Amino acid sequence: MTTLDPTQHREAWPDSSAGSLPTRLPPKHEPLVKRVFATIAFLADASRRRRTGRRALWLMVVSLATAGIMLLAYPFYTHFYAKQTQTTLVKKIESFKGAQGIEAYKVQRIKAGAALTRLIVPKLHLDVIVVQGTTGNALRAGAGHYEDTALPGDFGNVAIAGHRTGFGEPFRHLEALHEGDVIVLETPIGRYTYNVIGDFDAHPNPWITSAKDLSVIQPTSDPSLTLTTCDPPHTSLNRLIVRAKLTKTELKV
């Protein structure tokens, strides 16, 4: 039996430059988005070859189209809903006339969802009825009054929250308000004029704070108005705040 010399054994293997098998390359990692679309394309191609697959593929297309249409239509629905609600609220608050009407207003205004005051901001071309409460249902009207804060014209802090996107988005451009701008709260009892104040407590006005910062709606030493909305638009990450002070009161009774 012949014994192979290890040196000769090594030389028996062809040199890499003379036709040896190529070294295996590491796997190529493609972007996730590309892989997802490739998978979808593969499944679509495979499914269309079978009758049941074609039905499933058609159902998927219809479902995606329906979801897309609903997503696009949702903002229009919320605006329509808020507009219809505002029309009803305007009629309701305008019905409180005379002594009996004003007394009825005083009684009903503590109920969540009831028309509380008309909010007018000339600079923003804003005229919206504010309801009592800040629950999801109440805010579908566009703007709501924090129930534990002062009422329009009262001593303390009147706090009002409003949508920045959807449901009429009354506070869409709240950041455009500056010192001296006029904000009016009008009720069957009186008309109250507030003016946006300048910087205070070492921060600008308007300013952005945490969504959990409830100090902005706490009582104030002077008759004040605080408007709050979400920031940035389309999110509820933070809160955009505007503070104003009462400068004029015109009672109707």
Does the residue 71 lie in any domain?
A: no
Band (13; pLDDT cuts 50, 70, 90): very low
CA distances (Å), 240 to each of 85, 91, 161, 194, 249, in order?
Answer: 25, 30, 10, 18, 27
216 and 239 Cβ atoms separated by less than 8 Å: yes
- Is residue 95 assigned to a domain? yes
Q: Which domain holds residue 108?
A: 77-251
Whether 113 maps to a domain, the answer reads yes
Q: Provide the pLDDT confidence category of residue 94 given band limits of 50, 70 and 90.
A: confident
Residue 195 has pLDDT above 70, yes or no: yes
Q: What total of structural domains would you count in the chain?
A: 1
* Torsions phi, psi for 125 (to 5 deg): 55, 40
**Residue 81, in any domain of the structure:** yes
| Domain contains 89 | yes
Q: Is 48 within the bounds of a domain? A: no
**How many helical (H) and strand (E) elements, i.e. helices and strands, does the chain have?**
5, 9
Highest mean pLDDT pick, 25-34, 80-89, 104-113, 217-226 = 217-226
pLDDT on residue 113 = 87
Least confident of 123-127, 133-137, 142-146, 207-211: 133-137
Would you state the pLDDT for residue 196?
98
Q: Could you tell me if residue 55 is inside a domain?
A: no
* Least confident window among 44-53, 160-169, 244-253: 44-53
- Could you tell me if residue 53 is inside a domain? no
Strands 126-132 and 143-145: parallel
pLDDT at 16: 44
Lowest mean pLDDT among 54-58, 135-139, 246-250: 54-58
Average pLDDT over residues 237-245: 97
- 214: domain CATH number is 2.40.260.10
